[in-house]
Structure 1
Amino acid sequence: MTDYELTQKVIGCAMKVHSALGPGLLESAYQECLFFELAKAGLFVEKQKPMPLVYSEVKLECGYRVDLMVERRLILEIKSVEAINDIHMAQVLTYLKLANHRLALLMNFNVLHLRDGIRRVVNHYDDSASSAKTSASSAVNSRS
């Protein structure tokens, strides 16, 4: 399954959850329901997956946890906030760098139309470069 196909499947499941629940609930409610929908769709999903920090060649558990990890390669960060801001984007980029993954979806369920609350975040890392040279930037696209 390509990244595009995976993100489309995930967004479809998220829209199903949002259509059923609407905006205004806690982040944890959307996370649990989305976990259920993704698993029902046949995807491998991990929730509250720890993201260790590697420092001086030692893995340190610093409390970083990804809301949902889909198919071991797509990070989902679930929010229920008034608006997505820079700190939320920075959080997702940090998770992408820690996991050495390329793609994440930042989803804010506290919106009238979910398509307005989805941000696609891309970590532009170079597989051959050391982690110290990792360069990250985001491509924001609400319609992945």
Structure 2
Amino acid sequence: MSDQNLTPKKSIRPQISNALLVDTMSGEERFQNSTLRPILKLQNKILIAIFKDYITEKEAKKTSKSSKSERSYSRLSATKQREYIDTVFQKDIKFKSQLLGMIIGHFDLEEYNLYAQNKTGTDRRIINLLKERIFNGLAELPQ
């Protein structure tokens, strides 16, 4: 099968009508709005499901290790939920890397080359966008 028969990765991404793309923005902002946001929107449901499973697994481990009842994620205040998400991304490097890989795997070669020029800054942008999507996505789920 030749590459000509493959659907380009960009063609499956949703359009974001309010994504700001202006001549005066930095290359990083342009990459965020033209590449990262559409990929995250495309992957939104699976990202939420993965994080929800992560929470469920962590809570099950806490419950089996401890006799005292711990507050579940859904019972935390919004502030504590944000702190929980921040902590996961700070402390669980393996999980963070898994989610980053899911996003980077949707880059085409040109986008990957742009990413490779500023991995640290782009990773930071991806993580911030991920945290926001996860927080908002979990808040929308029925309790």
More strand by share: 1
Structure with more relative contact order (C-alpha pairs < 8 Å, separation 6 or more):
2
Structure 1 length as normaliser, TM-score?
0.25
Structure with higher Rg: it is 2
More helix by share: 2
